[in-house]
Structure 1
């Protein structure tokens, strides 16, 4: 350890008054914009769409789906496909109507948009938090040594998980009826004019063993269970890592490798199911076999970007002396690679649905691409999350310079928030959505609170795991 001991291995991050002031300023700006957005919405300002436009949008989607139905097949096959299209058009129409159900009758309330934004930010930042723990666990399961000095940076994001759990659960109990169409009891009553046999068929996934349309105990238990498991593994890995600092030896590394491997298996299952529960079930008629992977990829590249930004910030403030351009290069390669992976999943999901032309699948994209509100953000999403990272991080040098990494990481964090915005708002708000003061304000407010939690906890213990057996390897890391 001769080389490593030249560094201060007992350094602690100091969350200075100046840095706190900067973070609080972001939060205050966010709060002000959020209040402006809420007031604008309450008093009927231009920050929201109109019910009439929502009606036109629904008609357009239904008409487009019906048009596909007319061209789908020939002879008897044509009749079968048309029947499927008509049924899906009806389902799509019901779904669109669910999203717009209040908009055309003067019943739309600004609180629905507020709740939708709460859900977007809850899911997004919860994902970034668990990705910190996930990436930490990968280093142990893969027996990787290069990232040893930034292990505590990764793990620090997990401190947001308890807050995320509370916010998610509380938001559901307050706003679940506005966010999730399947919570309406009349959908499960065969005698009701609102009866929906497709949603009724999926009812057990939400309500088992209770009666459909009552309390979704199965769905709520899954949410509580997933957060409980994630928080348990986070605390277990954090405590083991801190014990390693105190007692040393290799036994803690082997123990953490075992717990990390178990966590990765649990996370693989829980992250996919949580994506179905928290995001895909908003568009209850729609389904995609790629969706769990898609949400994971969005979370992962956003989490990697957040970890990289914090690492660069610490490096620029004089911490993490062991971190050099080789470590940054590896982080840049991860971001570059998983940006392409996310794009591959986005395109695969889109292409397969487009090519198959099955209406109950294609209605999801029609609601977004054919919309004046959401259509442009489809292209913003691709530009921010693929085109810019691909072009800016293509060269070796760009991955080794902090200016490129800071620009790309910031772009990606904003870009994947847009990705979750596109997943949530169309299904909850229909044409009453969009990005305005309310969206920007809540994003800044959430971001500032998350940063405060992460940085406060980062400053409580040693920044570097000084007794990690691979610290020397990281010091000599060169690519």
Structure 2
């Protein structure tokens, strides 16, 4: 039996406390008003040399607003001088013409002078009016720009929390899918690892509750500072609204809060029901008399049904929870792409937890051949992820359809380092490190490779979510780091506590002897 050490427990709690404090700080320091955004932009411009240096480009509206503010007073002053000159000219004409015999001629002269003055003043008035209208329009556009930036900066702590929340939840789902595949395949090598997988999937109920609450907060706009999902904006499907979006309106039969949250509830409930069923049935098999494989067969059939449900729900989940952040964009490969990302992360987590338990003198029947097989899966699924990444990117980039290619242009231009960094961490490093057969059995090499893969796929989820929610206003700050720390601490505490609840060796499994003596 495994016993949770006080050191690991305290470490997990410290991570959670630090993470919670940082998350709170991120929400407290997020701008609340447009004036806060203006103050931030001015401060950044002062220290960074302008909006571009500060990470916010100066919009044409803003430039026009500033230009009109400078030119309008000058035009008004010119107009005032012209009118004053004409008035002086009229007075001079009246004073000179004193002879009563020329009164009619003077009156006619005065009339011509006034008409001339009106002709001169009219263009000046027209120019001032045009510049005033330009200034008003520019000011309105600038206010709209500030409001957009405000929404993005308010999204930042929410988006950081969302990335970490969904990442750790889907790691657990990757482990659960791998666990189900082992049962359906009747694999003989992996039963000695089943308790490790069951321990990791213990996070699923906890993560599901937190994630579902997060979705409710987004959909119900409980704190009035969350704009993660654009299709939830009020009036976006109403043709009379200023927020109307014809494309989103066309998808409203699918993308609406009621149907969306029901789908989320069904998916999360289905995954948790299988996890509960599998754990309970697996423990019952341990208690069954020798030769009684009723529970094993029951779990085999249940796992087959789960995998069918999983492959459908996983694809829809990826559309609902990630792709709908960019409701104008879609990819037919996206469900598989997301699956590959969290599937390899789940397998990597199994390997890392197994190596930790082995270092504590546990899992005596897990040998280097088991570790080697896990490393082969890490290597193979990393290549599979790269194939999907390239297929999705190459086809969209080559077709160059504006509605599709914008997704990648935004990420390449505004997220250059994380976009290409994810490729390096998720493909280049695994290939270089794990292509060697001997390296797949060396603990410290696998720890390095596993750490890089997990960090790389967190960055992958970061790339999928942040550009759609915060735009250019991103950086790895307190909110991002704190969110990872909180969910990492919670993840470690839950899974290692679950490992203490049952023996680490599933003795009742009919393939356990084969697994215990697995060598090649």
Bin of the TM-score, shorter chain as denominator length: 0.7 to 0.9
Give the deviation of 1:131 after TM superposition: 1.6
Give, in angstroms, the shift of residue 235 of structure 1. Answer: 0.5
- The answer to whether residue 474 in structure 2 is matched with residue 473 in structure 1 is no
**What is residue 86 of structure 1 aligned with on the other side?**
none
Residue 367 (structure 2) pairs with residue 324 (structure 1): yes
Alignment gaps of 5+ in structure 2: 61-142, 220-225
Alignment of 1:291 onto 2:334: yes
Work out whether residues 153 and 470 of structure 2, in 8 Å CA contact, stay in contact via their aligned partners in 1.
no
1:102 is displaced (CA, Å) by: 6.5
Maintained 8 Å contact 1:156/1:454: yes
Contact map agreement 1:120 1:424 (CA 8 A) in 2? yes
For residues 106 and 333 of structure 1, the distance between their equivalents in structure 2, rounded to whole angstroms, comes to 45
1:67 aligned residue: none
Q: Distance in 2 between matches of 1:23 and 1:172?
A: 25
Task: After TM superposition, give the deviation of residue 56 of structure 1 in Å.
Answer: 3.5
Gaps of 5+ in 1: 1-11, 60-99, 208-215
| Greater mean deviation of Cα atoms: 437-446 or 34-43 | 34-43
- Bigger Rg over Cα: 2
Distance 1:452 1:367, change over 3 A: same
Q: Hey, what does 2:116 align to over in structure 1?
A: none
Among candidates 447, 450, 460, match of residue 501 of structure 2 = 460
* Contact 1:26/1:444, CA 8 A, preserved across alignment: yes
Contact 1:137 1:263 in 2 (8 A): yes
Matched, 1:262 2:305: yes
Shift of 1:195: 1.7
| Aligned match for 2:436, one of 375, 395, 398 | 395
Are residues 1:218 and 2:259 paired?
A: yes
Aligned with 1:201 (options 246, 250, 254): 250
Q: Secondary structure at the match of 1:350?
A: helix
Instruction: Tell me the CA shift for residue 26 of structure 1.
Output: 3.1
TM-score, scaled relative to structure 2: 0.76
Q: In 2, Cα distance between the equivalents of 1:234 and 1:127?
A: 14
Alignment of 1:399-478 (within 5 A): 399-478=440-519
Asked whether the 8 Å contact 2:233–2:243 carries over to 1, the reply is no
Name which structure has the greater RCO, CA cutoff 8 Å, separation 6+.
Answer: 1
For residue 230 of structure 1, what is the aligned residue in structure 2?
271
Partner of 2:4: 15
Deviations 1:124-182 (A, max 9, x none): 11111112211111111001010111111112222222222222222122234511000
For residues 307-348 of structure 1, give each alpha carbon's deviation from its aligned partner in whole angstroms, at most 9, with x where no partner exists: 110010111101100011100000000000001111111111
Report the CA distance shift for 1:49/1:439 in structure 2 as closer, same or farther (over 3 A). farther
Deviation string, structure 1 residues 64-107 (Cα, Å, up to 9, x no partner): xxxxxxxxxxxxxxxxxxxxxxxxxxxxxxxxxxxx97655663
CA distance in 2, matches of 1:49, 1:181: 28
Determine if the alignment matches structure 1 residue 338 to structure 2 residue 327.
Answer: no
Moved more, 308-317 or 188-197: 188-197
Instruction: Give the Å deviation of 1:113.
Output: 1.1
TM-superposition CA deviations, 1:255-284 (whole Å, max 9, x none): 111111111110000011000000000001
Larger displacement relative to structure 2 (105-114 or 436-445): 105-114
By how many angstroms is 1:221 displaced? Answer: 0.2
Q: Could you tell me how far 1:21 is from its partner in structure 2?
A: 2.1
Q: Size of the alignment, in residue pairs? A: 417
* CA 1:13–1:473: 2 relative to 1, 3 Å: same
Relative to structure 1, the CA distance from residue 260 to residue 121 in structure 2 (aligned partners, 3 Å threshold; closer, same or farther) is same
| Counterparts of 1:101 and 1:411, CA distance in 2 | 41
Change (3 A) 1:106 1:250: closer
2:208 counterpart residue number: 165
In structure 1, the residue matched to 2:420 is: 379
TM-score w.r.t. structure 1 length?
0.82
